[in-house]
Copies of this chain bind each other. A is one copy, B any other.
């Protein structure tokens, strides 16, 4: 039965030293989300299948659940459960379920696992961690833009931009957030006379992969006119961080029809908001179909081919399919950072710049079998002062015990010497005696050990 310990493709697991790095990323993201006033919630791993399939062509990605005692799957039952494949649909359901108890606009953050039952490719996972922020509100009849102004979209991009910027301290290169607007695309395609909006969107999305020429061919093969298709590609190739260039480029493409374009004001506001590393990029489309306004993708400088590491957009009717004839809607805007994807990128390319020191401050050495309880007292003393420590599991010469500390990347050992207690920095080899009265707090420990560096 050796196969039970075989790695399962697409389900990454980390060794302790790499998990420590992932925890640093998660901690950093959480801090930024908190700094920006988001409230953290956690959603359950499962949703009803009707909820999961309510929107978008994501059916192929769902893992279904059944009980071992009764392993039947019933796709027609509302009780059929599946694992969520993103944190947005469960969030929409959570908001509907708890709408009476939430304060709108509700600023939520969630860092959690999602699952996709697809065949894994390189850089793709079947279980992965996402970090989401959303601002969602309750709308009793006004249009989304009035109820939730574009400043919220800017706030989301600002939050994720800051989170990514903070991650630079851990070694992530600079990132650039690319913005487009579905309303702009929709109005543009109307002006161009595009017949199949959805299909054209999907085709344009491949422009980086297959190139403009091939996209043109596909669009024409799909029944669009040469002129319309050419215009689509001209539009898709507009990319700028300047409002003036954006407007001039659009005027060039649309001429007198420029005034009929929607969404330009929203995009311009982003460029005027002073957020770093934001660029309007009119070929960004996003696969899932619930976005209705701005859409976002994010690329890592020097690793553009790795694909987007943080994506999202504005949605107006995400909860609609979960409601019964309701006049209340919940427009929102959100973004999702692909934490597992970032981890994979940073590990593979050895980008992390954090130190490898253990979170454990001290290994307490054991003099001999009979003095274990003395070592235990030393360990208790350190822990009471907030100094993380444990007793050496190796009861032999100090050298071997220090070897164990070195393998675990523990920087200090403490032992009972001739003059009472001693602490040794095993990297520098420096050591100093101290009295048990000297260590009442972590600061005391820091003061003593800083002299050993």
Q: Which residues of A contact B (CB under 8 A)?
A: 1-8, 11-16, 19-20, 22-23, 34-37, 39-51, 54, 59-69, 71, 73, 75, 78, 81-83, 93-94, 96-98, 101-103, 105, 107-108, 113, 115, 117, 127, 137, 151-152, 155, 162, 321-324, 358-360, 363, 372, 383, 386-391, 393, 404, 407-408
Contact = CB atoms under 8 A, between A and B. Distances in A.
A377 to B, nearest CB: 10
Closest 5 CB pairs of A and B: A37-B390, A67-B117, A16-B39, A4-B51, A71-B73
Contacts of A155: 390-391
Given A11-B46, A42-B14, A48-B3, A66 B69 contact: no
Given A16-B39, A68-B60, A69-B59, A127 B4 contact: no
Contacts of A105: 393
Contacts of A408: 103
Given A37-B390, A60-B68, A71-B75, A97 B43 contact: no
Q: How many identical chains are in the complex?
A: 2
Q: Mostly helix, strand, loop or mixed at chain A's interface?
A: mixed
Contact of A103 (B68, B93, B404): B404
Given A4-B48, A68-B59, A390-B36, A15 B81 contact: no
A386 to B, nearest CB: 7
A68 B78 contact: no
Which one of A63, A93, A115 has the greatest number of beta carbons of chain B within 10 Å?
A63
Contact of A44 (B42, B67, B127, B383): B127
28 contacts: A5-B97, A5-B322, A5-B323, A7-B97, A13-B42, A13-B43, A13-B94, A13-B97, A16-B39, A19-B41, A34-B388, A36-B383, A44-B127, A45-B113, A61-B68, A62-B67, A63-B68, A64-B67, A66-B66, A66-B73, A67-B117, A68-B82, A73-B73, A103-B407, A105-B393, A152-B393, A155-B390, A162-B383
Contacts of A98: 15
B372 A151 contact: yes
A314 to B, nearest CB: 16
B67 A71 contact: no
Contact of A66 (B11, B63, B322, B404): B63
Nearest to A324: B2
Contacts of A360: 34, 37, 39
A63 B37 CA distance: 37
Nearest to A49: B68
A11 B48 CA distance: 12
A94 to B, nearest CB: 6
A215 B125 CA distance: 51
Nearest to A96: B5
A12 B82 contact: no
A394 B153 CA distance: 16
Contacts of A15: 41, 98, 101-102
A37 B388 contact: yes
A76 to B, nearest CB: 12
